[in-house]
Amino acid sequence: MPAARQVLLCSVTMQLLLQSLLLASCLRSAAAFPKGCYPSEEEGLKTFRCSNAQLTEVPRDIPNDTNKLYLDSNRIPFLPRDAFRDLPLLLELDLSHNAITSVESGAFRGLAEHLHSLDLSSNRLVSISKDAFSNLKAKVNLSNNPWLCDCRLQELIRTVDLVAGSSGGITCHSSVQEEHVGKAFLQVIADTDFCNAYKKTTDIAMLVTMFGWFAMVISYLVYYVRQNQEDARRHLEYLKSLPSKQRRSEESSTISTVV
């Protein structure tokens, strides 16, 4: 019996030790997460929620097996390069209702293969390069941002796959043409090709620049010829004022020099 009791005591002690280690591990993990962020499981998918957590940047300690990431309703101002590179299994990313004004090229690098939903609605985006979404196959929501309607936005819209029904929320907060302000962008580009207009403007500017350089070269050549003619005339007048013999010698020298 004493031996059995000792075995039982050891077993209970081991169980308590394992539970303590597990609890300590969980507490350390929880402490590593930003305040207001917590992991969960939704519909069989590992989820990490940081909604309304007063974040001013993308957290660094997000579990790398996360499938759904909610960073909505925070104060994140921009997305740096490789912001989500350690999340190879990410399927959904919600960045809506933040203060995002810029997205660096490569911000979504590493998400191209798996990400199928990206929400950037209700931010402060005015303009983004299409390169920021390079190779991204996700459905993207870009509605309710203060967009500048120009060639850059036109190229972006042609590059990304918009969430169904979200295109009407992409409106011109400002535009290169005043009459487009307040209108849905897809409605505007049905009648206006911003990129073609930009190309024409660029071509005209290039022609004007080339013409300016050409005019400068011609002006210099004309000035150079006239200056030489004036110098030659003055020299001939000087020769005429010399005695006959010296004048002939100088004229011959001048003619040979001109030739």
- 201-222 pLDDT tens trace: 444 445 445 545 555 666 666 6
Residue 177 has pLDDT above 80, yes or no: yes
3-state secondary structure of 245: helix
So what's the pLDDT on residue 218? 67
Average pLDDT of every residue of the chain: 80
**Mean of pLDDT values over 214-237:** 65
Asked whether 71 and 94 are in contact (CB, 8 A), the reply is yes
More reliable by pLDDT, 12 or 46: 46
For residue 249, which amino acid is it? S
Most confident of 35-44, 92-101, 221-230, 235-244: 92-101
Residues in the chain: 259
Per the confidence metrics, is the pTM higher than 0.85? Answer: no
Asked whether 207 and 160 are in contact (CB, 8 A), the reply is no
- DSSP code of residue 142: -
Least confident of 68-77, 176-185, 226-235: 226-235
**Mean of pLDDT values over 175-182:** 91
Q: 69, exposed or middle or buried, with CB in 10 Å at 0-12, 13-18, 19+? A: buried
- 124-150 pLDDT tens trace: 999 999 999 988 999 999 999 999 999
Measure the CA–CA gap between 151 and 214, rounded to whole angstroms: 31
